[in-house]
Amino acid sequence: MTSILNADLHCHSVVSDGTLTPEALAARAKTNGVALWALTDHDEIGGQQRAAAAARTLGLHYLTGVEISVTFINQTVHIVGLGFDPENPALQLGLSQTRGGRKQRAMDMAAGLAKVGIQGAFEGALKFVVNHNLISRTHFARFLVESGVCRDTNEVFRKYLTEGKPGYVEHRWASLKDAVTWITQAGGVAVIAHPARYKFTANQEFALFTEFKGHGGQGVEVVTGSHTAAEYLTYADTAREFDLAASRGSDFHSPDESHTELGTLPYLPGNLTPVWELLLDRIQQAPDTSPETPVSMGH
Ligand code: AMP
Ligand code: MN
Ligand code: MN
Ligand code: MN
């Protein structure tokens, strides 16, 4: 299977912190020439049926997806799961536990913001929430932009929602072992999301990759909207060093906020194993494709 494939295996809908429905994302993926798509909402698979159905209607190949929040050496790390069975009970329970603390965390964030004079942030953020099980910092960011406190969501994160800032609340997410195990035992492949975003030392990053592999993780995002072109090369090397398959995904959230559009990233470097090669039997085929060519070429 080729690495020259317009696969976009990382994006968010209104089921987590995106602003488009799964159906609108599917249509956008189709318009942008995506051949293989996955919706990867944060800690939540409630959009999977809708995404898969829309993909089928539009003629996109589809993989189930999720992005699980993990705490590793006191930092938040994201683990993408692809190609799992969404009916798997242990995965569903694990995700529901991971989401569980979000409401209290949001109330604590609002309390922190109130201390610096920003009132009503919990209710304000909720106005942007579609799935009430999944309130995130992004919803607070949208409220602070709407109410004129900041110009854009980036500024909100910088001034209010990151470590040491008034709206930041320490939070303990899933363990690396649990997240990888939930995904793999549900038949999926676990992938380290956007590794360049973490602020680990070289030793800590080595520990992340080593432990991830030890738990059964098989992939790493190399080409992502969160990486620079130089970081594609760095993490292509890391993928080879750790014998991990490589993934590609925009991390698209919103037409108004995201700088990387669905399906518009460079292809994966050719000397890597694309993660979809590990998932051929998990891909929901677009109806018009013959079984001999499980995934059509990008163009
Ligand atoms: P949460 O899971 O509630 O901690 O929210 C994390 C989400 O916030 C990420 O998935 C991004 O969508 C968004 N985010 C994190 N950092 C930034 C940033 N600096 N600028 C814009 N959005 C961000
Ligand atoms: Mn997000
Ligand atoms: Mn992420
Ligand atoms: Mn994401």
Q: What is the pLDDT of residues 175-187, one digit of tens each?
A: 999 999 999 999 9
Question: For the residues 252-279, what does the mean pLDDT come to?
Answer: 96
- One-letter amino acid for residue 140 of the chain: F
Contact assessment for residue 43 and residue 134, using Cβ atoms and an 8 Å cutoff: yes
Cα separation of the two ends of the chain = 15
- Give the whole-angstrom CA distance, residue 156 versus residue 147: 11
Ligand 1: residue whose CA is nearest its atom 21: 154
Which residues contact residue 21 at a Cβ distance below 8 angstroms, ignoring those fewer than 6 apart? 13, 14, 50
- Cβ of 258 closer than 6 Å to ligand 1, yes or no, is no
Distance from Cα 188 to the centre of ligand 3, integer Å: 18
Q: What does the block give as tokens for 92?
A: 């569903």
Q: CB-based contacts of 75: which residues, under 8 Å, 6+ apart?
A: 198, 199, 200
> CA-based diameter of the chain, in Å?
62
Confidence (pLDDT) at 287: 85
Residue 65 has pLDDT above 50, yes or no: yes
Cα–Cα distances in Å, from 294 out to 92, 107, 120, 137, 159? 28, 47, 51, 38, 47
Q: What is the pLDDT of residue 298?
A: 41
Ligand 1 pocket test target in 67, 77, 136 with most atoms within 8 Å of CB: 136
Distance CA 212, CA 47 (A): 26
Q: How far is the CA of 278 from the centre of ligand 4 (A)?
A: 21
Contact of 104 with 203, CB cutoff 8 Å: no
Ligand 1 contact, 153 CB (< 6 A): yes
Contact 106, 143 (CB under 8 A): no
**pLDDT digits 0-9 by tens, 10-49:** 999 999 999 999 999 999 999 999 999 999 999 999 999 9
215 CA from centroid of ligand 1 (Å): 26
d(Cα 43, Cα 79) in Å, to the nearest integer?
10
